[in-house]
Amino acid sequence: MSAPFRIAVLASGTGTNLQALIDAISAGDLAVEIAGVFSDKAKAFALERARGAGIATTVVPPKRFATREAHDEAFFAAVDGASADLIVCAGYMRIITAAQIERRPNRMINLHPSLLPAFKGLHTHQQALDAGAIEHGASVHIVTADLDDGPVLAQARVPVLPGDTAGTLAARVQAVEHPLLVETVRMLAEGHLRLAPDGPHLNGAPLPAPLQLGANRRLA
């Protein structure tokens, strides 16, 4: 039997997307092993979710280090110890230094709450409302040295409704974030999606456009 596909999950907050991965694994819908959960915040609830599922956790607080570079060096040394096939940023709120990304080309993905390339950075739901967007959503992309700028693998779309606030829009997006991340990781683990030096591939050919999450919660 082949070894299981291993992922390391980076998280700074409540860990709802981590929980979606845990639940999919438990239900038999996702054949991967979470090799570890890594955080920059000791009180991140994501760590409690991981411990409750019997997953190893590691915290590397930035305040212990004089520079962002020194913190990232220690943080990613710990991540490398998990021997993961893929690093999944699921609510990891620190900007990763370029040197660490460049050492791990095409091994890191990030879930971002917008339809990239629109609304990079923080407060994306308010950004969408301020721009008068009629559609919003979430994207999974390859992590590169430029913020929220790597090739997009998959997206999930939701309408922006009259009377929406940043909070109501965030809740609608979060409902599709979970299956979007699970399905993207599943396709990577099964080899349908591959992160290649010349860009992402789908079933052996260059991915022509981001995959879209359908009403059946599958990517196409």
CB-facing half-sphere around the CA of 3: CA atoms within 13 A: 8
Active-site residue 136, yes or no?
A: no
Q: Using CA atoms, how far apart are residues 184 and 193, in angstroms rounded to an integer?
A: 8
H or E element at residue 74: helix 68-80
Q: Identify the three-state secondary structure at position 174.
A: helix
Residue 4, token pair as written in the block = 């299981």
Q: Supply the DSSP string of 110-152, one letter for each residue.
A: EEESSSTTSS-SS-HHHHHHHTT-SEEEEEEEE--SSTT-SPE
Angle between helices 16-26 and 45-52 (to 10 degrees): 10
**Pairing status of strand 86-89 against strand 108-112:** parallel
From the list 112, 125, 136, 141, the catalytic residue is 112
**Pairing status of strand 205-206 against strand 199-202:** antiparallel
Q: What is the number of other CB atoms lying within 10 angstroms of the CB of residue 138?
A: 26
Please list the active-site residues.
112
